[in-house]
Structure 1
Amino acid sequence: MAVSKGFDIFVSGIPAPVQESRLRDLLHPYLLRQGIVHYEITKGKNKGYASIFIHDFARGQAFLNVMQKQNSLRLHSKFTLNFKRSNGPNAKDSRFVKQKMAQVEASKQRIGRLLVGNKSLVILIDHPYLSGTWQHRLDMSFKDIYEIMISRGNSSSAFITVYVAPKLYSAEDNPFPELQNLNLATNRNRAAPPKKIRVPSLNDGHAKVVGTCFVYEVILGDDLALSSLSELLRGGPEMPSTSRMDIHSVNPTRSYDAQMEDLRNALSHDWHGTLPFTVRFQALKIVREGRLSPDSMTALIPELVEFGSKGIPEQTCADAVRHLLDGMDSPHPALPAGDYSKESLIRRLRDAVSGSLKDSSVYRAVKENSHLALIHHVRITPCGIYMEGPSPEVSNRVLRLYTDNKDSFVRVTFSDEDGGRLEVQYSTNNDGIWNRIHALLDGALRICGRDFTFLGFSQSSMKSHTAWFMTQFVDPKTQDRIFPLLVIRNIGEFDNFRSPAKCAARIGQAFTDTNVHVVLESTGDRYDLPDVEKNGRCFSDGCGLISPELADKIMERYPGLKGRPQVNAFQIRYLGFKGVLSRAPDLIGEQLYLRLSMKKFDCNEPNHLEICGIADKPLPLFLNRSLIKILEDLGVPAQNIFTLADKTMKDLLRHIDSPINIANFLESEQIACAAGLPRLIQHLDDIQIPLVDDRFLQSVVELAAIVRLRELKYKGRIPIKNGMKLMGAMDHTGTLKHNEIYCPWIDVNGYRQVHLGKVAVTRSPTNHPGDIQFAQSVDVPINSPLRELHNIVLFSQYGERDLPSQLGGGDLDGDLYDIFWEPLLMPPGRCNPADYPRLPAINIGRIVTVKDITTHFVDFMKSDNIGLLSNHLMTLADRLESGTRDKDCIAIAELISNALDFAKTGIKPDMNKLPKFDRRIKPDFMAPGPHVNIDSLEASLQFVEQDEKNPHDPVATLDPDQRKIVYYKSDKILGRLYRMIDEKGFYDQLRANTRADAGPHASVLGRVLEYVLAASEGIIFNQYTDLAKDIRSDYETNLDNISYDYSLHPGHPLHEVEVVTGCALGSIFNRRLKESVSSMREQFNRYVAHTRSAICTDDDGNIDEALPRSIACLSVAVKYPGLKRTWAGREVELKSFAYVAAAVCLEQLELFHGGLLRRYGSKSKGNGMMIYKG
């Protein structure tokens, strides 16, 4: 193989954002002075280094001598570039290969091809005996590639470093592929095109390393092939980062398999109690992520055992291991070899342990909140098994039963390599992946010496492809050995079930998240209440009654309800019952009234009333695309929708045109409220420090506004002011007449309100035109027991059919109902509600086994096509004149209904009944919008239009059945709404309303600190400086963890502003991120609430020193840099702690001055002090 004899130079000290072209312009004159005209400069995107390959060895050496002697070449007048020769194997290269290349000898060299497409890179490995045919295929999306390094080391090679394992495929077994082209079948029965087979590994050797192998070396034929690849990778903005550096591959001294075996042995026991499971879990987590070799971690085990033997708390040790590599770059040839040495890692561990004075806020948050549990997670992909967490989660019945053994339970999620759902594609055979998942569900997960086996799942967790696993343990209270079947028996009696789906759903009730539980003295105060049934319909399906005394007892224990209006409906789990209990003012004492429709299985203990949801306030109501489409088909004029949309856009701009409006906007949207930012903005306005001077606070407002606008454009999310979302129950008094509803609510001022007259009632999701019905909203007599109720909608028990069942098959066990009376949205007519036949759950004719339930779980994942069917419905409805009222659309709506019921029936929707239409043609409003990126330096938004697909994309030709989507200009409401909203223009206008030259955050915060110090003259706070540093470190570590835990992609964490605001840009288009955003908000809110508490409150619960403690935190935040992390390839500093501290500090200062904050720059009349010296 030809290897070039040119001269390679490594250049460092380059600011990461600098483009390759800018560097070339800078260096070109210096190269010309040495007579160098043939050279290549390669700099990866957002990398701080570059390489220069000079074809003439002698001239290259001369150029390097000049640059090293000069040692003064500067970029942007302040960055000094460093030049050195890159040649030959060295310690850095060797360590890089050992750390990142999992097992070189396991991968034999194979002949193949490397294809560079528009959005992905594919490695094809040729079939050994079929010329021109591939046998194996590795697909790497550009977003999954960290970097491609071009090397002329041992050979001309490309080292591809990925964040996640590639998708692996084998060609379908077919020894005679040429026969595929022969017409051996009729048109009607012609065979489908050959499928590719998704596989977990390429061969047995690859299977040992595939889950942790994140570098693949592709040896190229010669320098010409290398140059061609370099040119291909210089394409558009979506191309992965590319750099050049000579890397000389070396084989590890020991096989990866042998290394892992030693590590498994070391982590399989607790070393006489000195190495707890929580610590071992973190050690294995790092290795599974491919961040450290097994041998490197094994070398640290004695140090961890030593920590345990010295009595260092296990949580401190676990945290030290969890954050061992925080702030360190991944192993790389440009890094000093010593960074990952045993000595360096031990030093980092010791520093972390000695610097931790107390438990981290993660552990303290769980200790302080009885409804939270710290849970370890496992993520299983086609290629690997990865550890995550632990993280605080809302507890459930099972965890409360075994509160001392929570480490014996883990949550296991099955996903694709990038964290997304395993998608079912027509062109791909996934049987091998489903078999792998089934084998793991039916077998055991071996984690640090413990065998975890399948336990169960709630209905909501099944939708996210997540299940609970547990390992056997001895209950310290009873000394009984606890194992999965015993846990299920302790939940209730399930031997009478014959349907795996229904049995799994009933067991799943015990895994529902429950915030509060109340221990009832006995079952003597529980009474049976008959169901209200008529015409085969249950009007009271899922709802019972609760006495005021018991309801108030729940309210006292429920988090966040102190001082709030009374709650009148609770979503509950109790023994084998589930549903909603509405407050019955006429009941005395602690009483429950339960109906037969609420009973799902037999259970006698524990006698705990568990609360998984409450109706404490009316929720805001919004239009969405499916609802807009149905309203259009029911005759609502297009102009009415546009009027509301236009008002929404104008309101957005108005909400951000002044500090008080901004604060109110953030408050109303519940954005950054836990961090105190709305109040901080009000305080800045009070003391007259301009908000526009602060880039971070501007970015919070801009992100919140643009996310809301994108929700309007791409989701049709338009606020309905005359409407609300309420939990439903039945009027048990019989006061309401047929088709009447009663929906009083408490407004923001604390007053009772009730709308009288005609209203529209619906329930999400809306798929059938009959999912919107009319009702008469009424008030009740002043002496009615219903008069005391509010923030709930009560339905009548009269009529031929109950109203909830007419709204997409709703019931009263916790469903939320949309009620609106907005004149612009009231349709002139309605359609009859859907009345699909009820499908009985599959009956297997015997007792349900664990294997039956795991099969149902896998079948659900394989048939999870609700999103696909919903898109088909939206596409077809836009084309047809009658829209959703067309018989084909109604047929799809029925398929969606069956898909929604699959979790409880086990019956898959019959996709053969899907109407035939060209699915390649879609309306323009379903086209993907531009990517919106956050610039890490400015925290400003950048709109990146997606390029049209290259028709000659070589990767696309591999999958000819995946044809290009064609978008047409829709003339319906959704199409016109989509085109009327210019998000880029809106953002430009938004930025124009603020100062484009906003200063760094330190300038505003510095003024706040100066103000606070002057206004609190005489208060000593320096004694709290170390405490403030600890609080900040805790906060920033937790925020950093959240940014990774809830990101779409392991290599692309959320931006700090996305975490603080709870507005993730990708959530507009990605269902998984949208589902996790609310969980992310809850997690961050818990952490920031704990941070605020830690600032104000000492260990004894006293708040006397809240002001000096908060001043210390603000001072530390202003004077010392925050946690630095890599984001989008650049080093950025976390900033938000300073704003949390500033918010608390100004709140405490306001209390200190009796509720008054003077202007920044004014004098205090009380003591004559100068608050600001101008």
Structure 2
Amino acid sequence: MENIVMHFGNQVSGDSFFVLWKQEDVSGRFDFRNEKLYFYFSHLSEEYKFEISYENISKIELYRQRGQATKFILIQLRGAPRIYVKDESDVGHYEWLHWPIYALCLELPKKMRLSKLHLDDFVHYKEIEGQFELMERSPYSCSSGLVPIVNPPTGFNLPYKILFKINSLIQHEILPGPTIVEDLYRLVDPTRIEIQYIESALDKLFHLKDYCYEPVKWLKEQYKGYASSTRFQTTRAISLDDGLVYIHRVQVTPSKVYFCGPEVNLSNRVLRHYPKDIDNFLRVSFVDEDLDKMRSITLSLRSSSENENKRTRVYDRILSTLRNGIVIGDKKFEFLAYSSSQEKIMFGCIRESLGDFRNIRNVAKYGARLGQSFSSSRETASVGIDEIEIIPDVEVKKGQVTYCFPDGIGKISAELAREVATKLGCSSVPSAFQIRYAGYKGVVAVDPTSSVKLSLKKKSMCKYKSRDTKLKVLAWITLLSNLGVKDPAFQEKQREAIYQLNAILTDPLRAQEALDMMMFAGEISNVLKEMLICGYKPDAEPFLSMMLQPLRASKLMDMRLKTRIFIPKWKSFDGMHGRNQDIGIWLILKAVDVPALYHMVDCVVFPQKGKRPLPNECSGSDLDGDTYFVSWDLDLIPPRDDRPMEYNVAPTLEVNHDVTIEVFSSNN
């Protein structure tokens, strides 16, 4: 394709397109083998390349206008295309740019033969005969950096939650931005319309998951129905269990921004301290266009002699967001230790309330310690400073390296453990808890003989000083082939797992075993087990069969995509050290019977003596909430015992001044 005019913007109705920008003299090609669409053009002396994968196209429509030779191809996108600009300093290399593009409209040359494009190959392709109008308008977003974000015109004072919903509808492409006019703002103004009508209508609109080209008309019809209905009920927020909160979330991609929620989140220390200001916090994440984690190449160019440490524009975008914050209506959210809050809450006061971090001079460690208070956690009991004891770490020096055996683990009394378990709603008392307390972090194991509520290690558990004495509890395959376990062993385990999964659709006993052993959690699993116990058969009871099929499909999908093979003789454990001194030490370990440790359930108890801590031999692991894979299946026991690698910590870089929050948004 040659001599195309490419229009960027939004479709605002079935026969009109809102143009934000256009580019002439564009060439393009369909790569059917790789299922990609490419466009090339020059702008302001720079060469650009557009790359659109077929799976990113939600629809393609060809508009033929009666009596006119000009044709238009409308391409509606699910996400932003990949846009590259040619780097003149590195011949043949393109830097990936990110522009906020929702749709493309291709104005085709009059003599172009459409048969060569093979548009019929697209599933969502259709041809439309009739008029098609291009309308050139100015951008509607109030921010040139984070787009699209809209604010109401002067004279409107919409509540934060309503404005957040309006922006979310635009960003998720349910409302085209150009349709947000003053008439619509009047229809979502609580001084004119009852707020329960507004919230109900906007929620309904979001769940339609389709384009709404006439939102003003649609809202009027909804309100008319609400007013005439005698059964209208306000949408009640689901009552949350203790420790859960509703919080708004923002996802910042390289080209766009998405408002989400409010969503249910496990609370943390800061949110619990400011319960009345919950709407003044945002949970912000920086993600790629597919909403997955960003890759390093997105932030910095491939190294070469010319651009070895050159940062990309995506990197600059992240820094800009950290420095300038996010503005939504009259609220400005600013950077706060991997979260954000409104200006009226003094950022410094919040940070000071978290603890004393002045002795931490390593920037990365400073950020990690601040982040401790933002870890999702459940607040349980108050434990006074006079109710804890500080116990020494067990250290062994080997050459120049000093090993800490009980790295990050302390003790909790049985009485306090029962209180915490009750607060968490546990049916039984766990053997260990991963905790945060007064600047301490790590795991505490239940000690039935202890009369002290908490016994903590100063060196391995204390990360900073804090006056907060609330005890907070966090939420609760080894490369065997490299150690000599042959592939047939894994293949046989896979065949056994597939046989087990197939059998659950016909054999009641196998189905019950699978529900017990394969960790199908939840109330529905209990219902299915009760039905099987009562004599219902999977191949005779439709409901039972219907529910078992997706469970089977889920496990098969895990096996196919993630190579997760169910092993009956295995379990996942938390790790901790033993107070008993008679446990031996092996790389391939031998289980020993220690009656003094019978109260420890679903835990691996490591020795606190030897040449080197066993957890440290496992990829440098410690005991701060790490989970261990343990199998007693003889087919998976490695025939050889390789010497573990050394995982010595590299020296940390420290600054010669207090670490300030501005360091995190600096370019250094």
Q: Contact 1:656/1:665 (CA < 8 Å) preserved in 2?
A: no
The residue identity in structure 2 corresponding to 1:610 is K
Distance 1:721 1:382, change over 3 A: same
Measured after TM superposition, the shift of residue 796 of structure 1 is 1.1
State the alpha-carbon separation in 2 of the partners of residues 525 and 702 from structure 1: 52
C-alpha displacement of 1:545: 0.8
Taking the TM superposition and a 5 Å limit, the aligned residue runs for 1:798-809 are 798-809=609-620
Question: Could you tell me how far apart the structure 2 residues matched to 1:571 and 1:137 are?
Answer: 50
The structure with more radius of gyration? 1
Percent pairwise identity: 23
Structure 2 SS opposite 1:512: coil
Separation in structure 1 between the aligned mates of residue 544 and residue 356 of structure 2, nearest angstrom? 55
**TM-score scaled by length of structure 2:** 0.86
Does the CA-based 8 Å contact 1:259-1:294 persist in structure 2? no
The alpha-carbon deviation at position 258 of structure 1 amounts to 7.8
Residue 1081 of structure 1 corresponds to which residue in structure 2?
Answer: none
- 1:365–1:127 CA distance, 2 compared to 1 (3 A): same
**Structure 1 pair 396/115, CA: closer, same or farther in 2 (3 Å)?**
same
Task: Confirm whether residue 645 of structure 1 aligns to residue 508 of structure 2.
Answer: no
What is residue 527 of structure 1 aligned with on the other side? 389
Give the structure with the larger helix fraction.
Answer: 1
2:583 is aligned to: 737
Deviation at 1:364, TM superposition (A): 2.1
Helix, strand or coil for the counterpart of 1:266? coil
Q: Could you tell me how far apart the structure 1 residues matched to 2:136 and 2:571 are?
A: 66
Q: 1:545 to 1:317 in 2, by over 3 A?
A: farther
* CA distance in 1: counterparts of 2:20 and 2:177, whole angstroms: 16
Instruction: Indicate yes or no: 2:467 matched with 1:609.
Output: no
The structure-2 alpha-carbon separation of the partners of 1:709 and 1:123, relative to structure 1 and needing over 3 Å to count, comes to closer
Deviation of 1:260 after TM superposition, in Å, equals 8.7
Summarize the Cα distance change of 1:483–1:97 in structure 2 as closer, same or farther, 3 Å threshold: farther
**165-174 or 492-501, which moves further after superposition?**
165-174
1:142 maps to a residue whose letter is Y
Partner secondary structure for residue 413 of structure 1: strand
SS at match of 1:572: strand
- Match for residue 723 of structure 1? 570
Matched, 1:568 2:431: yes
Distance verdict in 2 for CA 1:556–1:325, change over 3 Å: closer
CA positional deviation for 1:537: 0.3
Aligned to 1:541: 407
Q: 1:243 aligns with which of 113, 126, 137?
A: 126
Match of 2:71 in 1: 156
Residue 601 of structure 2: aligned partner: 790
Q: Does structure 2 retain, via aligned residues, the 8 Å contact 1:659–1:681?
A: no
The alpha carbon displacement at 1:567 in A equals 1.3
* CA distance, structure 2, for counterparts of residue 168 and residue 402 of structure 1: 42
Residue matched to 2:320:
439
1:1051-1066 matches, cutoff 5 A: none
Aligned to 2:307: none
- Residue 5 (structure 2) aligns with: none
Aligned pairs (5 A) from 1:4-15: none
8 Å CA contact 1:576, 1:601 repeated in 2: yes
Alpha-carbon distance between aligned partners in 1 of 2:551 and 2:639, rounded to the nearest angstrom: 35
1:372 positional shift:
0.6
Correspondence for 1:357 among 230, 233, 242: 233
Q: Which residue of 1 aligns with 2:52?
A: 140
Distance 1:296 1:590 in 2: 61
User: What is the match of residue 188 of structure 1?
Assistant: none
> Retained in 2: the 8 A contact 1:146–1:161?
yes
| Alignment correspondent of 2:21 | 106
Q: Which residues in structure 2 correspond to 1:595-606 (within 5 Å)?
A: 595-605=458-468
Residue deviations 1:620-645 (CA, integer Å, cap 9, x gap): xxxx4x62322xxx333444333333
The reply to whether residue 340 of structure 1 matches residue 214 of structure 2 is yes
Q: Who is 1:400 aligned against?
A: 272
Alignment of 1:416-455 (within 5 A): 416-425=288-297, 431-455=312-336
Please give the alpha-carbon distance, in whole angstroms, between the structure 1 residues aligned to 2:154 and 2:479: 55
Q: Distance in 1 between matches of 2:517 and 2:567?
A: 14
Change over 3 Å in CA distance of 1:530–1:664 after alignment to 2: same
Distance in structure 1 (CA, Å) of the matches to 2:502 and 2:160:
53
User: Separation in 1 of the partners of 2:479 and 2:646?
Assistant: 19
Count the aligned residue pairs. Answer: 636
Paired amino acid for 1:544: G
Residues 572 and 602, structure 2, Cα contact 8 Å, conserved in 1: no
Cα shift at 1:413:
1.7
| Residues 1:225 and 2:110 aligned together | no
Distance 2:537 2:505 in 1: 17
Aligned to 1:300: 184
Match of 2:592 among 771, 778, 784: 778
2:4 maps to none
SS where residue 472 of structure 2 aligns?
strand
Q: Deviations over 1:836-892 (max 9, x none)?
A: 332122223322222322459xx9xxxxxxxxxxxxxxxxxxxxxxxxxxxxxxxxx
Change (3 A) 1:370 1:813: same
Q: Is the 8 A contact 1:165 1:417 kept in 2?
A: yes
Q: Please state how far the C-alpha of 1:724 moved relative to its aligned partner.
A: 1.9
User: Which residue does 1:1161 correspond to in 2?
Assistant: none
Taking the aligned partners of 1:247 and 1:685, their CA distance within structure 2 comes to 64
- Can you list the C-alpha shifts for 1:583-633, whole angstroms capped at 9, x where unaligned? 11112264444432100111112x10000044xxxxxxxxx4x62322xxx
Which whole-Å CA distance do the structure 2 matches of 1:268 and 1:512 have between them? 40
**Aligned partners of 2:201 and 2:219 also within 8 Å:** no
Deviation at 1:168, TM superposition (A): 1.6
- C-alpha change, 1:419 and 1:289, in structure 2 (3 Å) is same
Counterpart amino acid of residue 214 in structure 2: Y
Indicate how the Cα distance of structure 1 residues 148 and 401 shifts in structure 2: closer, same or farther if over 3 A, else same. Answer: same
Say if 1:638 and 1:839 are closer, same or farther in 2 by CA, change over 3 A.
same
Matched with 2:360 is 497
- Decide whether aligned partners of structure 1 residues 324 and 604 sit closer, same or farther in structure 2, where only a CA change above 3 A counts: same
Q: Are residues 1:679 and 2:527 paired?
A: yes
Q: Measure the CA separation in 1 of the matches of 2:142 and 2:14.
A: 17
Q: In structure 2, which of residues 193, 202, 205 is the aligned counterpart of residue 321 of structure 1?
A: 202
User: Could you tell me how far 1:790 is from its partner in structure 2?
Assistant: 2.3
- Match in the other structure for 1:889: none
* Residues 493, 789 of structure 1: alpha-carbon distance in 2 compared, 3 angstrom cutoff: same
Please tell me the residue identity of whatever aligns with 1:194.
G
> Where does residue 849 of structure 1 map in the other structure?
660
Change (3 A) 1:581 1:292: same
Equivalent-residue separation in structure 2 for 1:533 and 1:648 (angstroms)? 44
**Structure that is richer in strand per residue:** 2
User: 2:263, 2:55 → 1: CA distance?
Assistant: 27
Deviation at 1:245, TM superposition (A): 0.9
Distance 2:424 2:644 in 1: 38
Structure 1 residue runs without a partner (length 5+): 1-92, 175-191, 202-209, 332-338, 458-467, 474-481, 615-623, 741-772, 860-1174
Describe the SS at the equivalent of 1:326: helix
What residue is the counterpart of 1:214 in the other structure?
A: 102
Distance 1:246 1:256 in 2: 29
* Shift of residue 116, structure 1, vs aligned partner: 3.4
Aligned to 1:281: 164
Mapping 1:116-131, distance limit 5 Å: 116-127=31-42
Q: For 1:1110-1129, what per-residue CA distance to the aligned partner results, in whole angstroms no more than 9, with x for missing partners?
A: xxxxxxxxxxxxxxxxxxxx
In structure 2, how many angstroms separate the alpha carbons of the residues matched to 1:371 and 1:650? 41
CA drift of 1:163 comes to 1.2
Deviations 1:673-721 (A, max 9, x none): 33x2662575489586975574x86564334324423433554433333
Partners of 2:140 and 2:177 within 8 A in 1: no
Change (3 A) 1:529 1:120: same
Q: Is the 8 A contact 1:806 1:833 kept in 2?
A: yes
C-alpha deviation, 1:739, in angstroms: 1.4
Quick check: 2:575–2:627 contact (8 Å CA) kept in 1?
A: yes
Residue 387 of structure 1 corresponds to 259
Tell me if the contact between 1:268 and 1:448 (Cα under 8 Å) persists in the aligned partners. no
Deviation string 1:301-336 (CA, Å, 9 cap, x unpaired) is 2233246875x45xx7434313225336425xxxxx
The Cα of 1:350 is off from its aligned counterpart by 5.7
Alpha-carbon distance in 2 for matches of 1:779, 1:440: 56
- The Cα shift of 1:263 comes to 8.7
CA distance in 1, matches of 2:42, 2:245: 51
Cα distance change on mapping 1:714 and 1:415 into 2, 3 Å: closer
1:23-64 Cα offsets, whole Å, 9 max, x none, are xxxxxxxxxxxxxxxxxxxxxxxxxxxxxxxxxxxxxxxxxx
CA drift at 1:352 = 6.3
